[in-house]
Structure 1
Amino acid sequence: MLIAYTLHSARMTHSDAPTTEFAWTALGGDPGLFPRLSAVTRSGALEARLPVRELARACVGACVLAAAELGARRAGLADVPEVRVDDGAVATAFVSERHLLVDGRAPVTFAPLSRFWRTADGWVRTHANYPHHRARLLSALGLPDDASVEAVAGCLAERSAVEVEDAVYAAGGLAVALRTPEGWARHEQGAAVAGRPLVERGRLDSAASRSLPPLAGDPLSPAAGLRVLDLTRVIAGPVATRTLALLGADVLRVDPPGLPELADQHTDTGFGKRSATLDLTAGRHDRQVFEELLASADVVVTGYRPGALDRFGLSAEALAERRPGIVVGQLSAWGAYGPWGGRRGFDSLVQVATGIAAVEGSGEKPGALPAQALDHGTGYLLAAGVLRAVTEGLDEGGTRFVRPALARTAAWLTAGDEAGRGGAAAEASGSREGSYGSGPAEGSYGDPAPWLAEADSALGRLRYALPPVSFAGGPSDWSRPPGPWGADSPRWV
């Protein structure tokens, strides 16, 4: 039986600018807890034409408030711990992949064929960081595997942007034509996304409530004792599970052995977690091991395109039957609906399709946000949704799902443009009643050093961004550094 509900289903308006209060309400949070939240605001953090700083603060603020709420509930505290969000910590964390150093070496971010290209009628952006995506891109363009940047540029210059988009996606690759916000609003997928809640949340059955042991100790770890099966890749999903690991969850990331993650990307998002590989398509042993993991998991988080894991019995509905009372987090790029519901996507591509790149551009050239803010922001919203689902399940039971989408977060960001920036700017100054309590801006953001740390690991000496999710009495850093991809045994601690 489907007992689905949504907390906010109206089309986004300018009044829905990125604020923590809006995010907390969309997650079903108790408005009475909002005064527990305060902020340190800093000019210069994540500067952009769109209200990126406000969006980042809102996503993190909602996540940390959800963590404090669950921690207080499990520890039997009379009051939810005070929560303070610092723009400096948030801005640093939102570009954590850029701050990472491994034995002093800077990370590799985008591959040469992941970039903007001029087309016959505009611009297109491709994503080819993974070898299989690069191969599919070149195949769709009729180019050899060793094609140069110049050869790709020449080929794309002769085609229309939408023609490239369609051809590359048909080949299983990734390319998106540049659109304006108005163009995206007219697109069928844009309209479908705009009509959805910021985070879709639902209850799939009336399974009995699940109990968790009470918490004690220092620090207070709200997710302690939770087993999280992490089936995500790239940034957004791993940021969510990295946050759950920070809060005490036993997070085990499982990948197929033939699809390795980019090494630096995995290092950045692997803090607090373990990493194992299982092949669910060949042989009974790996499938049996996976089923044993699932049988005792409390949370499953997926980040593959919608429907890709259904054949393994990992749809929310199938999981409700197999593991009643579980929390299912399902991340997608475009949403699991509309004509693009089954498409792959990345932050950089969603920025291009939704008009963000056009807004942030200069002259005729498209631009980009100062961070992969859709990835990071959606990751914190996903973690917040999981935490809120666990809290609700303690009282009401039920198998619950949480479904954010990068394109939906993009709609929220662009709703804060123009007229919407008034609400976001008021929040930043501390003058918007009920947003953060009180307090003016407290400085500027320049040197990220206060929010960086170093640690030894099996991968070498790491410099990394500290987590922005913290509350009074809670953890301030991960309990373990990341390890090599796939190096851990597929078992719970």
Structure 2
Amino acid sequence: MTEIKFAWSELGGDPALLTRVSTVVGKGPLSARLPVGELARACVGVCALAAAELGARRAGLARVPAVRVDDGAVAAAFTSERHLRIDGRAPTLFAPLSRFWRTADGWVRTHANYPHHRERLLRALDVPEDPAAVEAVLAGRSALDVEETVTAAGGLAVALRTPGQWAAHPQAVAVAERPLIERIPLDGAPARALPPLPRRDAGAPLLPAAGLRVLDLTRVLAGPVATRTLALLGADVLRLDAPWLAELPDQHADTGFGKRSAVLDLTADRRAFEELLAAADVVVTGYRPGALDRFGLSPEALAERRPGLVVAQVSAWGAYGPWGGRRGFDSLVQVATGIAAVEGSPEHPGALPAQALDHGSGYLLAAAVLRALTERSYDDGGGGGRFVRVALARTAAWLLSDGDGGATGDFAEGDAPAPWLTETTSPLGRLRHARPPVSFEGGPENWTHPPGPWGTDPVRWVSW
């Protein structure tokens, strides 16, 4: 419970509520040298507790519902993209140019899943789209030179560092100075009471976020995991993407449960966005820090137009320090921070058994949104908008601070993920997917609807 206690404290939660949490500890479902299982359990546990707390407040319950965190469910959810099947087909997780490469003095890892990132990588290296050509060029250059050259071109490449080398980096120093979850007041708007939850029919789940409207401006895993969780809890989640930035279909199938998906050109149809914002309760962003500011979407600008708003932000490196404006992904943060060196070695880098920085940060961000809503609407001295943010690099620092967790084996025999998977018919096909790991007494057991085709929903809230 140490990790859960720490994360709950970082969220500003009442420590007395920790007695409502129980855990079902598995036999090493997330095998690693670092304590990935403990981190995953804590992130899901505090998210479930924050949901139960808000649900109790809105439903007028005398006690916060009991929370149960099962390692099997958590591990299946943290590897959800690997368990996904679409009409029996396994998803494509990494493109051929997203991998480790040897350099003249070490290793780099690149990320080129999206076409525009692949094009920038190839342009920076001045090579054709051929893994052999990329390999030959990188073998003759230093890792840091590759990192800087590709980054300057808007691509993604990170040099392998040890934990000690990362700790000495100015970005690591900036990250270490921040809390795990940043919680920042946005404005002095009066408290906005949430409507009480309607009386539930027998057997109907307790949905803490019912009636809340969430604008989802996120991509890849951490942000979509957060908004997928808010959708599970009853929120009307509308994901908006630029029409020229299509999502990877398999990734959308994994993270689109419970949500709707639309495309909107902010430069051509700003009125539609402002109408959505005027009725929103939460805005979640997952683009690199500053990327949305030019559209008037900084937290401060959003709160000025929608006082009392909760704004949530996730980034790779943090919104500060020399890397504050850089692009990044879980796999790259693992390499830069030294996790890859710990899980393998500096000579032969490894990786965590899950994209745990993404998934963990996603559940932390959802928990932060839920706690912000509780504080704003129910706590003494509440009111005002809230800005909450997490960074994959800060989650990585938390994982590394716990040292060597010891390898304990993968899913033990008889402890296969099958009990934590289910199948759902969807417009995308028959989906096999992980069940939600967020569990509390009376809470939802699954999403209300599966993902539909990307970008095909109307640009409006459900009740309009």
Range into which the TM-score falls when normalised by the shorter chain: over 0.9
Query: 75, 78, 82: which one pairs with 1:98?
Result: 82
* Alpha-carbon spacing, 1:296–1:197, altered in 2? closer, same or farther (3 Å): same
Match for residue 50 of structure 1? 34
8 Å CA contact retained: 1:229, 1:301? yes
For 1:313-328, list aligned pairs within 5 A: 313-328=296-311
Report the Cα offset of residue 213 of structure 1. 1.4
- Aligned-partner Cα distance in 1 for 2:43–2:163: 22
Matched, 1:28 2:29: no
- Aligned-partner Cα distance in 1 for 2:99–2:423: 31
- Superimposed CA distance per residue, residues 326-366 of structure 1 (whole angstroms, 9 cap, x where no aligned partner): 00001110000000000000000000000000000157210
8 Å CA contact retained: 2:3, 2:38? yes
8 Å CA contact retained: 2:7, 2:43? yes
Matched, 1:336 2:319: yes
* Alpha-carbon spacing, 1:18–1:129, altered in 2? closer, same or farther (3 Å): farther
For 1:112-127, list aligned pairs within 5 A: 112-127=96-111
Matched, 1:208 2:190: yes
For 1:380-391, list aligned pairs within 5 A: 380-391=363-374
* Alpha-carbon spacing, 1:126–1:277, altered in 2? closer, same or farther (3 Å): same
8 Å CA contact retained: 1:45, 1:445? no
- Aligned-partner Cα distance in 1 for 2:277–2:454: 21
8 Å CA contact retained: 1:221, 1:474? yes
For 1:248-397, list aligned pairs within 5 A: 248-281=234-267, 283=268, 286-362=269-345, 364-395=347-378, 396-397=382-383
- Superimposed CA distance per residue, residues 468-490 of structure 1 (whole angstroms, 9 cap, x where no aligned partner): 00100010100000001001001
- Aligned-partner Cα distance in 1 for 2:413–2:428: 34
Report the Cα offset of residue 320 of structure 1. 1.5
Matched, 1:38 2:38: no
8 Å CA contact retained: 1:18, 1:54? no
For 1:426-441, list aligned pairs within 5 A: none
Report the Cα offset of residue 444 of structure 1. 7.1
- Aligned-partner Cα distance in 2 for 1:206–1:257: 35
For 1:418-457, list aligned pairs within 5 A: 418=404, 421=405, 446-457=415-426
8 Å CA contact retained: 1:18, 1:412? no
Matched, 1:152 2:121: no
Q: Tell me the secondary structure at the aligned position of residue 272 of structure 1.
A: coil
- Superimposed CA distance per residue, residues 19-66 of structure 1 (whole angstroms, 9 cap, x where no aligned partner): 111000000000010000000000121110000000000000010000
Report the Cα offset of residue 206 of structure 1. 1.4
- Aligned-partner Cα distance in 1 for 2:414–2:133: 41
Matched-pair identity in %: 74
- Aligned-partner Cα distance in 1 for 2:22–2:224: 27
Q: Tell me the secondary structure at the aligned position of residue 408 of structure 1.
A: helix
8 Å CA contact retained: 1:44, 1:446? no
- Aligned-partner Cα distance in 2 for 1:40–1:444: 17
Q: Tell me the secondary structure at the aligned position of residue 70 of structure 1.
A: helix
Q: Tell me the secondary structure at the aligned position of residue 476 of structure 1.
A: coil
Q: Tell me the secondary structure at the aligned position of residue 275 of structure 1.
A: strand
- Aligned-partner Cα distance in 2 for 1:89–1:445: 14
Report the Cα offset of residue 446 of structure 1. 3.2
Match for residue 464 of structure 1? 433
Q: CA RMSD in A?
A: 1.6
8 Å CA contact retained: 1:92, 1:448? yes
Match for residue 3 of structure 1? none
Query: 111, 115, 140: which one pairs with 1:131?
Result: 115
Counterpart code for 2:399: L
Extract unaligned runs of 5+ from structure 1.
1-16, 426-442
- Aligned-partner Cα distance in 2 for 1:160–1:119: 6
Q: Tell me the secondary structure at the aligned position of residue 162 of structure 1.
A: helix
8 Å CA contact retained: 1:45, 1:444? no
- Aligned-partner Cα distance in 1 for 2:59–2:287: 35
Match for residue 6 of structure 1? none
* Alpha-carbon spacing, 1:113–1:121, altered in 2? closer, same or farther (3 Å): same
Extract unaligned runs of 5+ from structure 2.
none
Q: Tell me the secondary structure at the aligned position of residue 238 of structure 2.
A: strand
Match for residue 411 of structure 1? 397
- Superimposed CA distance per residue, residues 305-334 of structure 1 (whole angstroms, 9 cap, x where no aligned partner): 000001111111111111000000011100
Match for residue 59 of structure 1? 43
Q: Tell me the secondary structure at the aligned position of residue 315 of structure 2.
A: coil
Query: 148, 161, 164: which one pairs with 1:166?
Result: 148
- Superimposed CA distance per residue, residues 354-397 of structure 1 (whole angstroms, 9 cap, x where no aligned partner): 00000001572100000000000000000000000000000301
8 Å CA contact retained: 1:18, 1:55? no
Number of residues of Structure 1 aligned to a counterpart in Structure 2: 453
Match for residue 233 of structure 1? 219
Structure 1 consecutive aligned stretches of length 4 or more whose deviation exceeds 3 Å: 443-446
8 Å CA contact retained: 2:162, 2:346? no
Q: Tell me the secondary structure at the aligned position of residue 116 of structure 2.
A: helix
